[in-house]
Amino acid sequence: MEKSYHKKTFENIPEEKRERIFQAAITEFASNGFNGANINTIADNAGISIGSLYKYFSSKDDLFLSIINRGYKLLDGVISEADLSGGDMFDKIEKLLRAAQKYAMLYPEINQIYLDLATEGLSHLSKRLSKTVETISVKFYRTIIAGAKKEGVVPRDLDDRIASFCLDNILMMVQYSYTSKYFMERMRIFLGDRYIRDPELIVRGVMQFIRGGFSRGIGARR
Amino acid sequence: MEKSYHKKTFENIPEEKRERIFQAAITEFASNGFNGANINTIADNAGISIGSLYKYFSSKDDLFLSIINRGYKLLDGVISEADLSGGDMFDKIEKLLRAAQKYAMLYPEINQIYLDLATEGLSHLSKRLSKTVETISVKFYRTIIAGAKKEGVVPRDLDDRIASFCLDNILMMVQYSYTSKYFMERMRIFLGDRYIRDPELIVRGVMQFIRGGFSRGIGARR
């Protein structure tokens, strides 16, 4: 069961109002970071009093964690749409890569908040999470790699821990690249404008590299 | 020439005092993030008055950017020690990976500050940087890949932009993994405790994946 961080009262207000509060909070947390975010600004922009806000969330921490949960739901939605059921392992990874890219482009602010959550300054918050994106994705990777080994798509002695770690490192940085100006500029320095304008070029190139990573590689020593 | 963000007066105080101020600032910025950091706490912990601190740096922004510059110098030091001159492309990458890992383990706080700098909340600061780590590393990657193509170590039609982007994505996430509790826990979920205890296992595994990425890979379509 999903752990929730809001008070029961939050569920009794109209959907539209809940949405307004979330949007105000997302914008404020994304642009100023958790520590710089002002809870009064959030209440103001949502058009409610600070007293009301504390009726729905007991603390700034809880409001922040509620937004993280909401992000999981949005991500679930994008991944469900991607339909990862068919094809071989690489088809699945390609769909996941495209979903990660799409998710970051659709919801840059939510992704900015995730990035903030991973910083050391917010470790008091991240340790309160009942699950992280990683706990979900690592299971997915293990399953598809095990399948690919059975089908002979990848070498049987492939280190699935390292392979899924490297794979996720690549996917995550692609996702971050659409998330902050710093990382977007970094991607531009590496890839140039042509790739930035055409996200499909990035998918094709990155998949080529990943396919190689799952093979034995050049001068493999084992 | 290196752009500097401190006032001239900062250069006239004893080395030991400069060091004390930097250390106090690094600890405060790392644990609370830029937006949560308190400039009074920094002055207190450095044993100086807030007035003195403003004699050395005109603003919190400038103090932060001075620390970023200091980080570059420390990184330069670690990379120089790694001696990237000998060996083939993969030897150089392996040394760089080991240097990135070592740098993150030696200076976790500086790396926490880098991570913070990449968030959207600090884009007003990152755009003031005259250079970034990426502008330096991208040149290095292009040079060694060009060399490896000439020597026939990697395919001539390898997309060096994509390859260096993926390579850097992997290296960067390894580095981040030693930087915050969140990312350390993420690495533990992917790799398990045995790899966390033995950084060399990570180097060997990750290099295997990278070697593959630079090859043509499984079912390469081009």
What ipTM was reported for this prediction? 0.91
pLDDT of residue B218: 59
Q: Does B220 reside within a domain?
A: no
Residue B27 exposed, middle or buried by CB count within 10 Å (0-12, 13-18, 19+): middle
Residue B155 domain boundaries:
8-213
What is the chain B residue with the closest CA to A208?
Answer: B220
Distance from CA of A185 to the nearest CA of B (A): 9
**Cβ neighbours around A2 below 10 Å, total:** 8
- Model pLDDT for residues B168-204, shown as the tens digit of each residue: 999 999 999 999 999 999 999 999 999 999 999 999 9
CATH number at B83 reads 1.10.357.10
Q: What share of chain A is helix, strand, coil (3-state, %, to 5)?
A: 75, 0, 25
Residue type, A74: L
Best to test chain A binding among B31, B112, B182 (most A CBs inside 10 Å): B182
* pLDDT band, very low/low/confident/very high, at B26 (cuts 50, 70, 90): very high
Q: A147: which 2 tokens?
A: 């399948």
Q: Is A179 left (phi over 0), alpha (psi -120 to 50) or beta?
A: alpha
Mean pLDDT of the region B50-78: 93
Say yes or no for a CB contact (<8 Å) between B208 and A217.
yes
* pLDDT band, very low/low/confident/very high, at B163 (cuts 50, 70, 90): very high
pLDDT of residue A165: 97
Q: Which of A154, A180, A205 sits opposite B159 (nearest CB)?
A: A205
The C-alpha atoms of residue B137 and residue B148 are separated, in whole angstroms, by: 16
Q: Which of A119, A191, A205 sits opposite B33 (nearest CB)?
A: A119
* pLDDT band, very low/low/confident/very high, at B2 (cuts 50, 70, 90): low
pLDDT of residue B19: 95
pLDDT of residue B219: 55
Say yes or no for a CB contact (<8 Å) between B173 and A173.
yes
Best to test chain B binding among A132, A151, A166 (most B CBs inside 10 Å): A166
Say yes or no for a CB contact (<8 Å) between B205 and A162.
yes
Contacts of A59 (CB under 8 A, 6+ apart): none
The C-alpha atoms of residue B179 and residue B58 are separated, in whole angstroms, by: 29
Say yes or no for a CB contact (<8 Å) between B31 and A120.
yes
Distance from CA of A146 to the nearest CA of B (A): 15
What backbone torsions phi and psi does residue B196 show, to the nearest 5 degrees? -65, -40
pLDDT of residue A217: 62
Q: B99: which 2 tokens?
A: 């240097």
Structural contact between residues A180 and A114, judged by C-beta atoms closer than 8 angstroms: no
Q: Does A2 reside within a domain?
A: no
Q: Is B47 left (phi over 0), alpha (psi -120 to 50) or beta?
A: left
Segments of chain A scoring below 50 in pLDDT: 1, 221-222
Q: Does A71 reside within a domain?
A: yes
The C-alpha atoms of residue A216 and residue A214 are separated, in whole angstroms, by: 7
Distance from CA of B59 to the nearest CA of A (A): 17
Q: Does B77 reside within a domain?
A: yes
Say yes or no for a CB contact (<8 Å) between A31 and B120.
yes
Q: Which of B118, B202, B217 sits opposite A211 (nearest CB)?
A: B217
What is the chain B residue with the closest CA to A202?
Answer: B162
Q: Does B2 reside within a domain?
A: no
What is the total count of domains within chain B? 1
> Is any Cβ of chain B less than 8 angstroms from the Cβ of A181?
yes
Is B124's pLDDT higher than 60? yes
CB-CB neighbors (< 8 A) of B217 in chain A: 208-215
> Is any Cβ of chain A less than 8 angstroms from the Cβ of B176?
yes
Q: Does A144 reside within a domain?
A: yes
Q: Does A104 reside within a domain?
A: yes
What is the chain A residue with the closest CA to B36?
Answer: A35
CA dihedral B30, B102, B166, B192 (to 10 degrees): -90
The C-alpha atoms of residue A153 and residue B35 are separated, in whole angstroms, by: 48
- Supply the DSSP string of B169-184, one letter for each residue: HHHHHHHHHTT-HHHH
Q: Does B116 reside within a domain?
A: yes
Q: What is the mean pLDDT of chain B?
A: 91
pLDDT of residue A145: 95
Say yes or no for a CB contact (<8 Å) between B164 and A190.
yes
pLDDT of residue A2: 65
The C-alpha atoms of residue B102 and residue B175 are separated, in whole angstroms, by: 9
